[in-house]
Amino acid sequence: MRDHGAEVVLDTARFWTSRAEHDAAADRYELHNQIGPDEYHENVSNSVFVNRMVVWHLEAALRVFDWLHTRYPDKAADLEARLALTPAERALWRDIAAKMVIPFDAEQGIHIQFDGFFDLEYVDVPAYTPRVTSLQSIYGVERTNQTQVIKQADVVMLMALLGDALAPHDVRLRNWAAYAPRCDHGSSLSTATHAWVAARLGLLDAAYAYFERAAGTDLEDNKGQHRARNSRRGVRRAVAGGRARLCGAAPGCGREPGGGPGAASAVVVCALPVLPPGPAVRVDRTAGRGCADLRDVGAP
């Protein structure tokens, strides 16, 4: 962080400052012509994911700047000079963070994915199951862009990253109820994220169901035959990371900061065959036992 990370954090904060547009009449900042995690919708305004994460980024940049000045004043002075970073610019970061638009529907008590999202055509996504292809492949790119079909975790991803720093538990439950049924899971990363968030919300049956779908991404190639080459070429690391969070394999994962229900209680046994090269091995992690049982299971 001292030698390289701080510069990246501070300079990217400057980038977001250049992208924020000030609405003088409302005295607030907005972000236009952007795209959030939901890549089915391009050039949107005020993606709640992007806007809120920009706030997080600017606040983090201010903390990094203070940390660098406190711990490494010479390094901070050198970086400040090279970036021509002024007190006025840092004050602008604080102003943008404080006044950024965070789309929220007070009547429904939910965050709005982006401006105008709920004005788009509603599609009953669960009605299109079972299937192994994306709704974008069925509807086409242009038509999908005019619907409320979400490619992958978006508001749900925001809840995954920020937890109760985003909103109280009841608001996040309403967010889940609004957005999980609208998600197409067109990305292989989406179901693992939904599983993780469902577990943190205490929705353990949903967490387990999403976990099974996430495991099937690699074990069953459930993204469709046109993607079979992906599974043959190896396990998706990001999906595996999401599954690890749900299983409680990573320290501190699967629990709310306040000690809410954990994901591990939802998962009885997580079994993953590890395919060639090398001997096939089966890994079982049983909830509550806190150990891994590895044994040779022969050829696949």
Q: Name the band, by pLDDT with cuts 50, 70 and 90, for residue 214.
A: confident
pTM (2 decimals)? 0.81
Kind and range of the H or E run holding 209:
helix 204-219
Amino acid at 118: F
Predicted local confidence at residue 161, as pLDDT: 94
Q: What does each C-alpha distance from 194 to 34, 97, 108, 206 come to in angstroms?
A: 23, 28, 21, 9
3-state helix, strand and coil shares in percent for the chain, rounded to the nearest 5: 50, 10, 35
pLDDT of residue 222: 67
Q: Residue 243 — pLDDT band, cuts 50, 70, 90?
A: low
Q: Compute the mean pLDDT over every residue in the chain, rounded to the nearest whole number.
A: 82
In this model, does residue 166 exceed pLDDT 90? yes
φ, ψ (nearest 5 deg) of residue 180: -60, -40
Q: Which residues does the annotation mark as catalytic?
A: 39
- 213, with CB counted inside 10 A (0-12, 13-18, 19+), is middle
Query: Which residues share a beta bridge with 281?
Result: 274, 296
Based on the number of CB atoms within 10 Å of its own CB, is 96 exposed (0-12), middle (13-18) or buried (19 or more)?
A: buried
Of residues 23 and 231, which shows the higher confidence score?
23
Cis-peptide, bond into residue 37, ω within 30° of zero: no
CA distance 270 to 255: 18
User: What confidence score (pLDDT) does residue 231 get?
Assistant: 56
Q: What is the pLDDT of residue 286?
A: 47
For residue 233, what pLDDT is reported?
A: 61
Rounded average pLDDT over 63-73 = 96
